Amino acid sequence: MTESSEIQQAVASYCRRNSLKNWHPLAALIDMDGVLYDSMPRHAQAWHRMMSEIGIQTDPDEFYLYEGMTGAATIDLLFERHLHRSATAEEVKQLYEKKSDYFRNFGARMPMPGAALMLRKLEDAGLKRVLVTGSAQGSLLTALEEDYPGAFLPGMRVTALDVTKGKPNPEPYLRGLEKAGVSPAEAVVIENAPLGVQAGHASGCFTVGITTGPIPAEKLREAGADIIFPSMQAFADNIETLLQGYDC
């Protein structure tokens, strides 16, 4: 369990690092896969199957490490590793479509337990919410409004289609800050993957890491997470302590 003193310490150390006298978050920049949806096992399986079919052997668990990267970047990385060349635009398009088809066919989407509570508490506390995802997976993006009605106002989303450099580059979170109209010191990033945490940290935001898959907390710490929660439910239960803000 993350104690409130631990949250306070994390904010104090963020303030010191950024020379802030106080910290009061006005916006939350929220990742999708592994945060709002328990979708990573299906993504990993879909990637693994698609790659096997074109003769590229992978370990399903390795895709948890690429989480946050755009689909194009993941395809390129595996092409370079196995074929020693980058993928053509046409290959990227076809392979990503195939992977997306497998993903859709692997069953019903599963909202992450605790995510709805988290979004409600963010809204109640008056924070703007921006979705910041490396995904271009239409099926999940259109489902958001159904699963989390009103959680994201129109236009308050940054997807793989809106950036030139995906996570771990800070660009997606910097675009998110623009959409929210706040500075890095006024926003919280909510992430589950090492590359996403790295992007959040590099954007200058206070970055919450949540372990919702096989990646150990230590990896999120190394990536620059300011604080780590063991589950979305644990974060949702304790979020008020973070959102009340602090004089440093």
Q: Which of these segments, 33-41, 84-92, 172-180, 206-214, binds Mg ion (CB under 5 A)?
A: 33-41
The residues with which 17 forms a beta bridge, in sequence order, are: none
**Cα–Cα dist 183/225, whole Å:** 18
176 to each of 5, 30, 70, 90, 146, how far by Cα in Å? 29, 9, 16, 29, 22
Q: Output 33 or 226, the one with its CB closest to Mg ion.
A: 33
Q: Output 180 or 193, the one with its CB closest to Mg ion.
A: 193
Residue sitting closest to Mg ion (CB): 34
Q: Of residues 7, 11, 30, 33, which one binds Mg ion by CB under 5 A? A: 33
Q: Which of these segments, 34-42, 101-109, 178-186, 213-221, binds Mg ion (CB under 5 A)?
A: 34-42
Residues 6+ apart with CB under 8 A from 39: 32, 33, 103, 109, 110, 140
Binding status of residue 236 toward Mg ion by CB under 5 A: no
Q: Which of these segments, 25-33, 41-49, 53-61, 209-217, binds Mg ion (CB under 5 A)?
A: 25-33
Closest distance to Mg ion from the beta carbon of 22 (Å):
30
* Residues touching Mg ion, count (CB under 5 A): 5
The residues with which 229 forms a beta bridge, in sequence order, are: 210
Contact string 159-198 vs Mg ion (x = CB under 5 A): ---------------------------------xx-----
| Among 232, 139, 144, 175, CA closest to 29 | 175
Structure tokens at 4: 């409130």
Helix (H) or strand (E) holding 210: strand 206-210
Residues 6+ apart with CB under 8 A from 46: 99, 100, 102, 103, 106
**Cα–Cα dist 117/103, whole Å:** 26
Q: Which of these segments, 2-10, 24-32, 170-178, 207-215, binds Mg ion (CB under 5 A)?
A: 24-32
Binding status of residue 199 toward Mg ion by CB under 5 A: no
Binding status of residue 31 toward Mg ion by CB under 5 A: yes
Q: Of residues 7, 23, 25, 34, which one binds Mg ion by CB under 5 A? A: 34
The residues with which 227 forms a beta bridge, in sequence order, are: 208
Site of interaction with Mg ion (CB under 5 A): 31, 33-34, 192-193
